[in-house]
Structure 1
Amino acid sequence: MSIHKFSFPTPIHFGVGARKLVGQHLKDLGFKRPLIVTDKAMADLPLMAEFIGHLGGLDVAVYAGVHGNPTASQVTAGGAAFKAHQADCVIGLGGGASLDVAKVVGLSPTHDGPILEYAWDHPKARSITGPLPYFVALPTTSGTGSEVGRSSVVSEDDTHQKRVIFHPKLLAQTMFADPELTVGLPGKITAATGMDALTHNIESYLSPAYHPLCDGIALEGTRIGAAALHTAVHQPSNLKARSDMMMSSMMGAIAFQKDLGAVHSCAHALGAVVDMHHGLANALMIDVVMAWNHEAVPEKFNELAHVCHVKGGGSAFVAWLKELKTSIGITGTLSSHGVKPKHMARLVEIATADICHQTNPRPCTASDFEKLFKAAM
């Protein structure tokens, strides 16, 4: 498979073996001391040693303190590692959590104040005014699309509530999308992250915001992901399916500059309250929310059914989502995944306060969220 290079707006090297190009890319730009930001599981894999081998001639340090939903303290520790190594650039290697931390790990060494003061909704929000370290991204999952996004989601350490730092300077300067990096993913992670990618594409398309460019990207991202996800889960070495899921993931992240919807508000609440994996949370909520959204924009659901080759129109598309989840091993309800009635009030509170549902095709109240969570229990 050849390497394809394009910009949208991040320069992207896409194809099998793209990871092997990173070292020469950094050398050509004069960088010498990269900090790799990743999680502990990735740091211990042979893949990491192999990747560092491709960086021959560079003085490499690794920060592997990312785990779960990334927190402010993880970012701060990464910033300290950046300073200790006297790093001159950042390589983000991993899933969405690692990439989100990598985007902002250079913020504390170059800007004043706690990291969360740069979140858009902080009462005294600071602005990113100075330059950030050169940053390249290598995704090892196909779900969040963080590699092409200009935001970083970081949780508060005490409340676990997610905060969003958003700025064009957070975009990776260059991205290397290598499907081989996803081949070793367990089936459960492939399934959950794949549903995250589909949710991004679907919710972006359903958003009432006007952005025909994103609509086109979201529909094509949905088509590609819908056709590839089952194969990627059940034939993990199938590089065509892995490539398609990586592309669908990137397209979903590009499209959601048009914004998302109520599925993500629910997922953010589940992440904060029970620390649920974001992709799994989206998967458990998507068919429930889509069944509720269908009456608001039936023509858009018909179009989604069309690109996914689902016969029977929009209502059949909702049923197809549920069948797809089962076919890739995502089963059960919120209650079977650790959500209890005592969590309900807090879930509703966080979902209602979340910004994503402001572009849901159907307006959501606290009462609506309570009904949706109960329907998913």
Structure 2
Amino acid sequence: MSISKFAFPTPISFGAGARRLVGPHLLEQGLKRPLIVTDRALSQLPVLSEFMSHLAGLQVAVFNGVFGNPTCAQVMAGAAAFKAHQADSVIAFGGGAALDVGKVVALMAVHEGDVLEYVWDHPQVRTIVNPLPYVVALPTTSGTGSEVGRSSVVSENDNHHKRTVFSPKILARAVFADPELTLGLPPAVTAATGMDALTHNIESYLSPAYHPLCDGIALEGLRIGARALATAVNEPGNLQARADMMMSSMMGAIAFQKDLGSVHACAHALGAVCDMHHGLANALMIDTVLAWNHEAVPAKFDELAHVVGAAGGGTAFVGWLKDLKARIGITGGLAARGVTLDLLPQLVPLAATDFTGGTNPRPATEADYERLFKAAM
């Protein structure tokens, strides 16, 4: 597999071995003191030390304080680590959490206040006024596509409500998308993150917002991911399938600047209340929510079915999703993951007020969300 280079708008080096280009790239930019932002578990694995072996000539420090659904406190600790190292750049290395934190570590390293003051819906949101340190991103999962995203999602420290910093200014300056970094992912993680990528492509296409460019990207991202996910899960060493999922993930993140929908609204609530992995939460909700959405945009469901090769029109698409989940080992519903009916008073209001639900193709009330959660049990 050769390395391809393109920009959309971030310069992207894509292909096996792309990670080896990071050190020379930073040196070419005149940068010498990067801070690697990564998650706690990943920092203990050989994949990080192997990557660092390609950073000759750089004075590198590691911040590995990312874990779970990342919180504002993790961001502020990373910014403190950046300052302590007198860093001049950030290498965001990991899954969606580490990439999201890495981008806003760069933000808070050069701005005052708390990261919550920069979330898009803060009543007195602060403006990003200072140039951010140079950020490069290397995804080690294929799900969020945060490496090419202009947003970062972090949770409040106490209640774990997810909040979003959104600005083109936090885009990574360069992306090194190396599918070899995903070869060690366990099947369950590959399945959950892969369903996150597919959900981004699907929900962005179904959004009623007008953005034909994103529609085209979303459909192709779904086509690529649909053919690759089961292979990536069941043949973990299949590099082509891993590369296809990494591409599908990036395309989903580019497409969802058009917005998302109620699958994500439910998933965000599950993450806040149950600390559930975001990709798994999407996977557990997607067929239930989409079956409910079908009547609002049946022609779009026909197109989704066509893209994945599901015979029988739009209603067949939901059946295809259920079958795919079974093939990749995601079986059972919310109840099998410890979600109980007594959590509905917490889940429902969070989902109903989540910003992603505002562009669901079918407007959803609190009563609708209650029925959807119950149906997904």
TM-score when normalising by structure 1: 0.99
What CA deviation, in whole Å up to 9, does each residue of 1:232-287 have, x standing for no partner? 00001101100000000000000001000000000000000000000000000000
Residues 323-375 of structure 1 deviation map (CA, whole Å, 9 limit, x = unaligned): 10011000111111011111101100000110111111101111110110010
Task: Write out aligned runs for 1:169-318 (5 A).
Answer: 169-318=169-318
2:165: which partner in 1?
165
Structure 1 residue 41, shift from structure 2 partner = 1.3
Q: Is the 8 A contact 2:224 2:244 kept in 1?
A: yes
SS in 2 for 1:294: helix
What per-residue deviation string (whole Å, max 9, x for no partner) do you get for residues 192-226 of structure 1? 00000000000000011111100000000000000
- The equivalent residue for 1:94 is 94
Residue equivalent to 1:358 = 358
Q: Which amino acid aligns with 2:354?
A: D
- 1:115 CA drift (Å): 1.0
Aligned-partner residue type, residue 354 of structure 1: D
| TM-superposed deviation, 1:108 | 2.4
1:248 aligned partner, one-letter code: S
What secondary structure does 1:302 align onto? helix
Pairing 1:13-32 to 2, within 5 Å after superposition: 13-32=13-32
Whole-Å separation in 1 of the counterparts to 2:104 and 2:355? 21
Q: What letter corresponds to residue 87 of structure 2 in structure 1?
A: A
Shift of 1:122: 1.3
Percent of residue pairs identical: 71
2:95–2:140: 8 Å Cα contact kept in structure 1?
A: yes
Pair 1:118-2:132 in alignment: no
Instruction: Look up the SS of the partner of 2:210 in the other structure.
Output: coil
1:106 alignment partner, SS class:
helix
Q: Secondary structure at the match of 2:295?
A: coil
Query: Alignment length, in residue pairs?
Result: 377
How far residue 106 of structure 1 moved from its aligned partner, in angstroms, is 2.1
Structure 1 residue ranges without an equivalent (≥5): none
Distance 1:296 1:74 in 2: 40
Task: Note if 1:70 corresponds to 2:85.
Answer: no
Q: Confirm or deny: 8 A CA contact 2:224 2:248 kept in the other structure.
A: yes
For residue 375 of structure 1, what is the aligned residue in structure 2?
Answer: 375
Query: Residue by residue, what CA displacement relative to the aligned partner does 1:161-205 show, whole Å, maximum 9, x if unpaired?
Result: 000001111100000000000000000000000000000000000
Measure how far apart 1:322 and its partner are: 0.7
Which residue does the alignment assign to 1:129?
129
Match of 1:38, SS? strand
Structure 1: distance between partners of 2:28 and 2:112: 31
For 2:246, the aligned partner's letter is: M
Q: Contact 2:107–2:170 at 8 Å: present in 1 too?
A: no
RMSD: 0.6
User: How many Å separate the matches in 2 of 1:127 and 1:266?
Assistant: 30
Offset at residue 46 of structure 1 (A)? 1.1
The one-letter amino acid paired with 1:133 is P
Equivalents in 2 of 1:314, 1:248: separation in Å?
21
Q: Distance in 2 between matches of 1:159 and 1:60?
A: 34
What is the CA–CA distance in structure 2 between the aligned matches of 1:57 and 1:30, rounded to whole Å? 11
Deviations 1:60-104 (A, max 9, x none): 000000000000000011001000000000000000000000001
| Structure 2 unaligned blocks of 5 or more | none
Instruction: Tell me if structure 1 keeps the 8 A contact 2:120–2:164.
Output: yes
1:340 aligns to what?
Answer: 340
Q: Give secondary structure in 2 for the equivalent of 1:295.
A: helix
Alpha-carbon separation, structure 2, partners of 1:82 and 1:169: 18
What pairs up with 1:319-338 in 2 under 5 angstroms? 319-338=319-338
Tell me how far apart the structure 2 counterparts of residues 194 and 289 of structure 1 sit (CA, whole Å).
Answer: 18
Once residues 277 and 46 of structure 2 are traced to their aligned partners in structure 1, the CA distance between those partners, rounded to angstroms, is 25
Query: Partners of 1:124 and 1:229 in 2: how far apart?
Result: 42
Give 1:300 deviation, angstroms: 0.5
In the other structure, the counterpart of 2:44 is: 44
| 1:129 CA displacement | 1.2
